Structure 1
Amino acid sequence: MLQKAPRRTRERILELSLRLFNEFGEPNITTTVIAEEMNISPGNLYYHFRNKDDIVNSIFVQFEAEIERILTVPETRRSNLEDVWFYLHVTFELIWRYRFLYRDLSDLLSRNRKLELHFKQILNHKTKVARQLCEDLRGEGSMEATDAEIDALATNMVVVATYWLSYEYVRNPRKYNEQQAMLDSLARGCYQVLSQIGPYLRGDTRLLFQKLSEEYLKKLK
């Protein structure tokens, strides 16, 4: 049988660092802690990464590549409510996988110029996609909203999605990393974002929104 090649030390450092940053917060983890958890010398770690910011930036490159892949809308048809629902789910799942970037966002951006510039681009891209989704719903007659209302909706959807995990952390920091708490948090986040467009929906799409909302609210009780 073919044996799977062992992961390179650099990849293992990134994987471990992401887990530690997510569980304990990036400001609370040093390169010394990472090296000790890896059971390698600090010199070995510095061979692969100059400092902790270098590790953070490398993780961010992975995150950026993944979010660019999911920040898309259908090219051959207008988006519908199921597309919006799916888009929110995969976005929140990715945010959770890299949750330290969002929980420690202000601190990271205040001292990392690269992250500041690139995160602005991601927010702009998210807003553009949210606006396109709303415009598609309006185009197929499922939504009644002016251009100004859609602009406000797109911005609000991105704001809630971006800061949702910070809000959840403040609500219950001791259960933040528990699996069930995570699943409930993602569900609440999806619902809160989608609920913003609910009042603008019409016809069968409005009925579908109500059905989906009722199902989610039952799960969260």
Structure 2
Amino acid sequence: MKTRDRILHTTLELFNECGEPNVTTLQIADELDISPGNLYYHFKNKTEILSELFEWYEKEIGEILDVPETSLDIEDQWLFLHLVFEVIARYRFLYQDLVNVMSRHERLAGKFKRVIAKKTNASRQICQNLAQQGVLKATPKEVDALCKSIVLTATYWISFSTVIDGEQSDDTLNQGVYQVMTLVLPYLREEERAILREMGEAYL
């Protein structure tokens, strides 16, 4: 692996483990066993590393949020949420201290707002698709509120679970997906409710 890529992967691990504000370029260089000068040859400062990592995140999450315009079912929504939570877990440093990170990096804050908007639009498209099939029973206002609740829960689940459990695991991801799906549960037909309950029992 090239040094530049090693820097990015190692920094991502350190950010996730220690929190982005607590990691310095000297720590990154030390972890890689390279000189600070070697690191600065590839990146002028930590902000440049953070910006590139955010580009990775934005690309990965963007590919998932491009929801296909086809008929979806409850299993599809579950898979969609699972993939979203996997990306969130890979870049959890963004979510663990979201307000702090975004307040110190205004350019990233604007980009993250666009990601939030894409999450909301993707959730709305899925819910509207289910409503058109008669699977989900909700008014347009209820759908709008439901989608915002879905995005809110997904965005702050990492912070919430860190406070409660103190660490992240596969169970954290699975519980997050299930927590979001329970928001949808009251609006589903009884048949889909039963499917969702069965999936939850097998998943957790």
Query: Normalising by the residue count of structure 2, what TM-score does the alignment of the two structures yield?
Result: 0.97
How many corresponding residue pairs?
A: 204
Partner of 2:60: 66
Partner of 1:104: 97
Alpha-carbon distance in 1 for matches of 2:188, 2:101: 38
Which of 143, 157, 164 is the matching residue for 1:164?
157
SS class of match (2:159): helix
Which of 9, 13, 17 is the matching residue for 1:15?
9
Deviation at 1:205, TM superposition (A): 1.6
Deviation at 1:210, TM superposition (A): 2.1
Q: Output aligned runs, 1:71-150, within 5 Å.
A: 71-75=65-69, 77-150=70-143
Deviation at 1:28, TM superposition (A): 1.2
Which of 50, 56, 60 is the matching residue for 1:56?
50
Is contact 1:142-1:205 (8 Å) kept?
Answer: yes
Deviation at 1:213, TM superposition (A): 2.5
Alpha-carbon distance in 2 for matches of 1:203, 1:171: 32
Unaligned 5+ residue runs, structure 2?
A: none
For 1:183-218, what per-residue CA distance to the aligned partner results, in whole angstroms no more than 9, with x for missing partners?
Answer: 1101110011010010000042222112223334xx
Q: Moved runs in structure 1, 4+ residues, more than 4 A?
A: none
Is contact 1:142-1:201 (8 Å) kept?
Answer: yes
> Percent identical across equivalent pairs?
47
Alpha-carbon distance in 1 for matches of 2:97, 2:197: 34
Unaligned 5+ residue runs, structure 1?
A: 1-6
Deviation at 1:66, TM superposition (A): 0.7
Matched, 1:190 2:177: yes
Partner of 1:24: 18
Name the Cα RMSD after superposition. Answer: 1.1
Is contact 1:142-1:203 (8 Å) kept?
Answer: no
Matched, 1:38 2:32: yes
Is contact 1:73-1:79 (8 Å) kept?
Answer: no
Alpha-carbon distance in 2 for matches of 1:96, 1:21: 12
For 1:62-117, what per-residue CA distance to the aligned partner results, in whole angstroms no more than 9, with x for missing partners?
Answer: 11111111112232x22211110000101111110111011121111001111101
